[in-house]
Amino acid sequence: MEATVWDLVNGTDAARITLDEDERARMDASADRFDQAIAADEPVYGVTRGFGPLVRFAADPDNAAQGLNLIHHLAAGLGPALAPDSTRLMLRLRIEGMKKGYSGIRPADWGNLARAFNAGFLPVVPAKGSVSASGDLLPLAHAALALAGHGEAWREQDGVLSTEPAADALARLGLPAMRWGAREALSFVNGSSASLAVALQNHATTLSLSRIGAMLTGQTVDLLGACTEPYADAVVRARGQLAGHARAARWIRDELAVDVAAGKARSVQEPYSLRCAPQIIGSVLDYLRSVEPLLLQEAHACSDNPVVAAEAVLHAGNFHAINAGVVSDLHAVLVHQLAFLAERQLALVLEPGTNGGLPALLAGSPGATSGLAGLQISATGLVAEIRQKSAPATTTALPTNLSNQDIVPMSLIGALRTREQGELAALVLAALAIAVAQIRHIRGVTPTAGLWADILRACPRLVTDRPLSAEVNTIRDLLLTWAAARGPDDRRITGTQRSRARTAVR
């Protein structure tokens, strides 16, 4: 798999899962050890024994019935469907994890899953109900059900997604319905792939939001004629050359037409929303950088229980998704910082005392028109909602499953919460971009090509008041497309990657 979270997330749409000879040998060794355990009448969770707290009871002697019972009783997910791009990444992580040689699965059975993934089969999976303790049992059970020809699957035609019966999707793609034995079913559903998939996507989204926030900061500083000293390399060096701080400052400097020293600026020191932006955005980038290796290790790992190693069948807890949960809680705080910064910058450019003598609320005729008054209220409400969602999900655990799962991480809940925050934060940044566009109109700084030409066309000067909701959505899409085209390190990426990065926060 790819070496960065950005590449992993944005490369999954076009990814194909394959098996090399070393992986095949490890899978066979694991499956041989599993067969030895069964032949020796060793107790094996979920195969010779029941599931969860019912492990003290014998399993159904019919292997196929035991596998179907697992899938059927866990197919209890509720609520809206998990986003299709999240579902595909979830499947990729689960299928890749099963080939590590710890799942007791034969390559032939695994190959049916890989073929379904490579053919583009995509189950419809309810997003709600997982506590992410024995992995994300419910979403993966619904995926397993669809792979067996029950439930629904996604179908894309001319760029439009719809649903169809899973059996019809399998037939259309020339795929057989999966026949789930107990071990195969247990290995598939007993992983933390759903919460990890969404956490990985949120990680990439937060990188994009950081890039957009830095760009809008630079635009605001430049248009207001603010002091540019806070973005100097020497300031970065003085703080220890933190990588995130350095990158954020560079991104801001990229937007500056000229350097303005304190003695020639409109003020020696600006409010913190401008002056401390490199530290705030840089902190987000540094925290993302610090947890990226952990997320990648999880993405390359096996989260099965039992672990069927070549030397023993080990009953353990690799499926507990605490790492994805804690990282998702961190992501929630980081997204809030970016949204709060953008909202404060929006307030600064709307306030006559800080916007350099521009009209209050950037109105065309203050009093007769109200400019961006409504948009500011909306942005304030969005930030309040983002803030309310920032409480850690991992601290809201409830015991369940007859107290077998007595400490659970709620990781998918936290990751889905952060995805919602990212969607709201993108709208706050778009609101700030509309304000910057109005300043450009007022000052006559109107390029004829590039991102800002597109934004200015989408958002004309507010001579009279008009509804702005549609413009916010349009500009959000322009910003996300712009950020996706640059990636996390200003490199150009493919059209497919750009599309996936953009849609991940919509």
DSSP 445-468: ---SSSHHHHHHHHS---SS----
**Alpha-carbon gap, residue 313 to 482, rounded angstroms:** 50
pLDDT at 490: 66
Catalytic residue among 45, 102, 231, 287: 45
* Average pLDDT of every residue of the chain: 95
pLDDT at 116: 98
CB 228 within 8 A of CB 256: yes
SS3 123: strand
CB 262 within 8 A of CB 268: yes
Q: How many percent of the chain have pLDDT more than 90?
A: 95
Q: Rounded mean pLDDT of 402-424?
A: 97
Kindly compute the dihedral angle of the four CA atoms of residues 102, 105, 109, 115, in this order, to the nearest 10 degrees.
0
10 Å CB burial of residue 450 (0-12, 13-18, 19+) is exposed
For the cut 80, the answer to whether the pLDDT of residue 492 exceeds it is no
Structure confidence at residue 193 as a pLDDT band (50, 70, 90): very high
Encoded tokens for 337: 């910082």
Q: Rounded mean pLDDT of 387-395?
A: 98
Q: Rounded mean pLDDT of 342-353?
A: 98
Structure confidence at residue 506 as a pLDDT band (50, 70, 90): low
CB 77 within 8 A of CB 416: no
Supply angle C-alpha 268, 270, 272, rounded to 5.
140
**Alpha-carbon gap, residue 198 to 496, rounded angstroms:** 19
Length of the chain equals 506
Structure confidence at residue 493 as a pLDDT band (50, 70, 90): very low
CATH of the domain spanning 5-194: 1.10.275.10
Range scoring the smallest mean pLDDT among 10-24, 71-85, 479-493: 479-493
Q: Rounded mean pLDDT of 441-454?
A: 97
**Alpha-carbon gap, residue 476 to 454, rounded angstroms:** 12
Tally DSSP H helices, then E strands, for the chain: 19, 6
pLDDT at 323: 98
Structure confidence at residue 1 as a pLDDT band (50, 70, 90): confident
**Alpha-carbon gap, residue 124 to 87, rounded angstroms:** 8
Residues 6+ apart with CB under 8 A from 249: 230, 231, 232, 233, 235, 236, 278, 282
**Number of neighbouring beta carbons within 10 Å of residue 60:** 14
SS3 480: helix
Encoded tokens for 135: 């992995």
Give the DSSP letter string of 330-391.
HHHHHHHHHHHHHHHHHHHHHSTTTTTSPPGGG-SSBTTB-TTHHHHHHHHHHHHHHHHTTS
- What pTM was computed for the model? 0.96
**Alpha-carbon gap, residue 68 to 51, rounded angstroms:** 12
Residues 6+ apart with CB under 8 A from 171: none
Residues 6+ apart with CB under 8 A from 372: 346, 350, 361, 362, 363, 431, 434, 435, 438, 462, 468
In 190-334, at which residue ranges do the beta strands (DSSP E only) sit?
A: 307-308, 313-314
Q: Any catalytic annotation for residue 102?
A: no
**Number of neighbouring beta carbons within 10 Å of residue 448:** 7
Place of tokens 């595909």: 88
Structure confidence at residue 500 as a pLDDT band (50, 70, 90): very low
Give the DSSP letter string of 167-192.
HHHHHHTT-PPP---HHHHHHHHSS-
Q: Rounded mean pLDDT of 428-436?
A: 99
pLDDT in tens, 26-83: 999 999 999 999 999 999 999 999 999 999 999 999 999 999 999 999 999 999 999 9
**Alpha-carbon gap, residue 141 to 69, rounded angstroms:** 11
